[in-house]
A and B are shown apart, each in its own frame.
Chain A
Amino acid sequence: QQQVKQSPQSLIVQKGGISIINCAYENTAFDYFPWYQQFPGKGPALLIAIRPDVSEKKEGRFTISFNKSAKQFSLHIMDSQPGDSATYFCAASMTGANNLFFGTGTRLTVIP
């Protein structure tokens, strides 16, 4: 059973637009929700993360929105740029656990 479900699988956005990627989870014990960005030929790199005690976290153009009651969280990329074209993975974990449960990834393409 997949612990974290991610959508859409792929996304095409115009430069300057907003990219939105959604994730949902079932395990209420999860208390750490990171987003990873992966460029071709590279490993995933931590982009931004949130804990469930806040509903939103913003770092530059990247914002995580978190809805604890709905068990959903999303990544918003404002003013999307061609350099943001990459695959984005959401993940979830719980304190003290070794596992990070990843979504299936979203391939984002930002067209000039």
Chain B
Amino acid sequence: ETGVTQTPRHLVMGMTNKKSLKCEQHLGHNAMYWYKQSAKKPLELMFVYSLEERVENNSVPSRFSPECPNSSHLFLHLHTLQPEDSALYLCASSRVWESYNEQFFGPGTRLTVL
């Protein structure tokens, strides 16, 4: 295991539901990321938190709302999603100020929006 855990592993939700994805890292890292992985597309960076501060938001729709209460935990709050939001959502972490951006990924949450 990489030291990054994600729950739940699978989630099915309706378009009107509200749910949250959780990520926890046990590596002592201080940067955390949300990625979206869809078939035949590059991993899409959604959000970056560095030292618990959001430093990047790659034009992600407001129906996705991240939260980083501390350097070990990251949440992605979901509401009124669309079927095209169905994908694998990956969390990653890394250490800030490293000379290279080595990111450690969790196993992902497979999200299906009906």
Q: Taking beta carbons and an 8 Å cutoff, which residues of A are in contact with B?
A: 2, 4, 9, 32, 34, 36, 41-46, 49, 51, 89, 93, 95, 97-105
Contacts and interface: CB of A to CB of B under 8 A. Distances in A.
Interface of chain A, helix or strand or loop or mixed?
A: loop
A98 B56 contact: yes
Of the candidates B41, B42, B90, the one having the most CB atoms from chain A within 10 angstroms of its own CB is B42
12 contacts: A34-B102, A36-B105, A42-B107, A42-B108, A43-B106, A49-B100, A98-B48, A98-B101, A100-B43, A102-B43, A104-B40, A105-B40
B99 interface: yes
B41 A104 contact: yes
A21 B50 CA distance: 32
Given A46-B102, A93-B100, A98 B50 contact: yes
Nearest to A44: B105
Interface string B55-75: 110000000000000000000
B42 A102 contact: yes
A44 B107 CA distance: 8
B92 interface: yes
Contacts of A97: 101
Contact of B2 (A45, A98, A100, A105): A45
B82 interface: no
A87 to B, nearest CB: 10
Of the candidates A2, A41, A98, A104, the one having the most CB atoms from chain B within 10 angstroms of its own CB is A98
A100 to B, nearest CB: 6
Contacts of A89: 43
Contacts of A45: 2, 104-105
B40 A100 contact: no
B4 interface: yes
Interface string B73-114: 000000000000000001110000001111111111000000
B56 A99 contact: yes
A89 B2 CA distance: 17
